[in-house]
Amino acid sequence: MKKLSILGSTGSIGTQTLEIVRTNKDLEICALAAGSNVSLLEAQIREFHPDMACLFDEAAAADLRVRVADLPVKVLSGMEGLMSCAAHEPADIVVGAIVGMVGIRPVMAAIEAGKTLALANKETLVTAGHLIIPLAKEHNVPILPVDSEHSAIFQVLQGNRMNKVSRILLTASGGPFRGLTRVQTADKKPKDALKHPNWSMGRKITIDSATMVNKGLEVMEAKWLFGVDYDDIEVVVQPKSIIHSMVEFEDGAVLAQLGTPDMKLPIAYALYYPERKPLPGPRLDFKTMGQIQIASPDNEAFPALPLAYRAGKTGGTMPTVYNAANEWAVAAFLAGKIGFNDITDIIAACMDRHAVIESPSLDTILEAERELRASLTKDRG
Ligand code: NAD
Ligand code: MG
């Protein structure tokens, strides 16, 4: 029996993780945490019986406490509550499925408590990878990637030696606006950007896929997870998301992981690693598939990718600025306050005026984020 604590249980990754738990009797839930969705978390508590739960939002947590007063579950709130769920004693695996940098401290708390981490929350590695990776080594804690591309790379590397890798080929779908110019994306609205061609995901990552920020974050995520140089990570566009990523070895061999676009595969792979579990669902049909199209990313129409390489290579607090500016801008775009192209323009402007701090501590990272948000809100409302 494996016991799971899910951080971000009400989201796209969180609910798909619970679907897997629902159909596998050898998985059990001991803690569930989310932002503010009282009704869904209540329903999840009634179905999965965790002994600890948390809503970040204090008022929502108070409401939840009343609603589940008939159950033996401890309801917590705030950052302390998230960290308690992350370090909850019975948990064998912590699923990091919160969206955004708010996940950093819970992820670090899980590592410090010696939990195996199944990590979807890429913003944590992008901004604090230089702290999280050494911390995981120090505590001898495995970080199992849930992001589909990184899971693909991780699967391909099984039985191979990392020091024989010459390149990582990270695949991108190109999102809903692939093939458009920057002039053509200028008037795109949230409803257009929220239509991802292949994947059904949370709103923030869906917008990130439309801008290509998601791929930029994934380049930085790959650097930390696999310890490769930025020059050895290449993004290739594969519109149907059939190839989930590839690795080229020193002898020229290229190994890939393919499959239908279903996040339950990478989630289950992380939960059962190193085993594989049967997973129902559609299979690839090579007879009817036709061509697998491959192209290069369009860095002029989608400047988020070159900006991410610049942020990653600069290092220090620059990836935090890239990520925090994006988190602010995506929320503003979804609220109808800024245009689609403004997202990447804001990231570029914030990076241009940022004075980098090398090897930032956790406090420095969180302070850089706070300052950046405050200045964007002051300048742009
Ligand atoms: P989502 O928006 O559907 O869910 C986010 C979850 O985080 C929700 O449970 C929400 O309540 C919780 N949350 C938000 N703010 C919080 C806070 N302050 N405190 C506690 N919980 C909070 O997002 P998602 O699509 O499930 O993505 C989650 C993470 O996984 C992101 O980092 C995303 O980039 C990554 N990811 C997602 C997918 C996917 O298919 N959805 C694929 C790869 C990676
Ligand atoms: Mg991905």
Q: What's the gap in Å between 71 CA and the centre of ligand 2? A: 37
Instruction: For the full predicted model, state whether its pTM sits above 0.95.
Output: yes
Ligand 1 pocket, residue 102 CB under 6 Å: yes
Residue 320 Cβ contacting ligand 1 at under 6 Å? no
Average the pLDDT over each of 45-49, 159-163, 164-168, 349-353 and give the range with the smallest value.
159-163
Average pLDDT, the chain: 97
Query: Cα(185) to centroid of ligand 2, in Å?
Result: 22
pLDDT of residue 380: 86
Q: Do 322 and 351 contact (CB within 8 A), yes or no?
A: yes
Tell me the average pLDDT across 19-35: 98
**Four-CA torsion 7, 9, 14, 15, nearest 10 degrees:** 170
Give the lowest-confidence range in 45-59, 189-203, 321-335, 343-357. Answer: 189-203
CB neighbour list of residue 210: distance below 8 Å, 6 or more residues apart: 175, 176, 177, 188, 193, 196, 340
pLDDT digits (tens, 9 = 90+) for 331-368: 999 999 999 999 999 999 999 999 999 999 999 999 99
Cα(82)–Cα(87) distance, rounded to whole angstroms?
9
Residue 82 Cβ < 6 Å to ligand 1: yes
Given a contact cutoff of 8 angstroms between Cβ atoms, the answer to whether 299 and 306 are in contact is yes
Mean pLDDT of 139-167: 95
Atom in ligand 1 nearest the alpha carbon of residue 37: 11
- Quickly state the pLDDT bin for 161 (edges 50, 70, 90): confident
Spacing, Cα 98 to ligand 1 middle (Å) = 4
SS3 6: strand
- Measured from the alpha carbon of residue 208, the closest ligand is 1
205 pocket-lining for ligand 1 (C-beta < 6 Å): yes
Please work out whether the CB of residue 152 comes within 6 Å of at least one atom of ligand 1.
no
Sign of CA dihedral 200, 201, 204, 205: negative
User: Residue 209 C-alpha to ligand 1 middle, in angstroms?
Assistant: 14
Looking at residue 3, what is its pLDDT? 98
- Nearest CA residue ID for atom 4, ligand 1: 11
CA of 234 relative to ligand 2 center, distance in Å: 14
The CA 161 to ligand 1 mean position distance, Å, reads 32
Q: Is 209 in the pocket of ligand 1 (CB under 6 A)?
A: no
What is the number of the ligand 1 atom nearest to the C-alpha of 82? 20
User: For residue 77, what are the β-bridge partners?
Assistant: 55
10 CB near ligand 1 (under 6 Å): yes
77 lines ligand 1 (CB under 6 A): no
